Amino acid sequence: MKKIIIGITGASGVIISQKIIEFLNSHDNVIYIVISDNGKIVFEKETGQSFNEYIKKIQNVTVVDNKVMDSFLASGSNDIDGMVVVPCSMSSLGKLANGITDNLIIRAADVMIKEKRKLIIVPRETPLNSIHLENMLKLSQLNVVIFPPMPAFYSGLKDIDDMASQMAGRIIKLLEIKNNLYRKY
Ligand SMILES: Cc1cc2nc3c(=O)[nH]c(=O)nc-3n(C[C@H](O)[C@H](O)[C@H](O)COP(=O)(O)O)c2cc1C
């Protein structure tokens, strides 16, 4: 059992966060979800339902408001094992790479870095400019895993759902949690 934070920001790729949430939740992990206001907008656009409607159907998850900075998620003394920011907007990427911890998602991620714990970010933008690339390099040099949601086109993926499962499985594996969401070669 692990304790994992899922940060959802306003970039495309909400389906990957749903897959991760649903897998971790159904395999005895403790998850805390923090979603930005823009994350909620993209969530509704991509899934056809509001985040609040979606999360009501999932039992035993804790959603923490992105503005609540006195949450234990913002403290280095917490017992969180790891965090995934999925999807991660270029705005949130820029804030994290530059220490601008003005919301709970970025503060919690910053805590993961300073406490040398596992942090995976799933940045989504294309094409990437030099600012995006420099920010990713900065974080990578701090041992943050940069996981762009890029499909393996050779692997016989059937549809978007299949593609998202594959990516979610690889991300969960990086959290050191065994799963069968992705194909192994
Ligand atoms: C439908 C929609 C899709 C978006 N997709 C992306 C995206 O893929 N990548 C990105 O960096 N920003 C994207 N944005 C813009 C971000 O939401 C915007 O920069 C926002 O300030 C990010 O704030 P947050 O990181 O606090 O959620 C999108 C916005 C909307 C409305």
| Residue 156: pLDDT band with limits 50, 70, 90 | confident
* Beta partners for residue 7, in sequence order: 34, 85
Cβ atoms 104, 67 nearer than 8 A: yes
Domain-embedded: residue 183: no
Check which CATH number belongs to the domain holding 52 and give it: 3.40.50.1950
Q: What is the pLDDT of residues 99-127, one digit of tens each?
A: 999 999 999 999 999 999 999 999 999 99
Cβ atoms 110, 34 nearer than 8 A: no
Domain-embedded: residue 87: yes
Token code pair at residue 113? 């870095």
Closest atom of ligand 1 to 89 CA is 11
Closest atom of ligand 1 to 66 CA is 26
8-state DSSP, 43 = H
Nearest CA to ligand 1 atom 22: 10
Whole-number Cα distances in Å, 152 to 75, 82, 88, 163, 166 = 37, 25, 20, 8, 9
Structural domain of residue 100, as residue ranges? 3-174
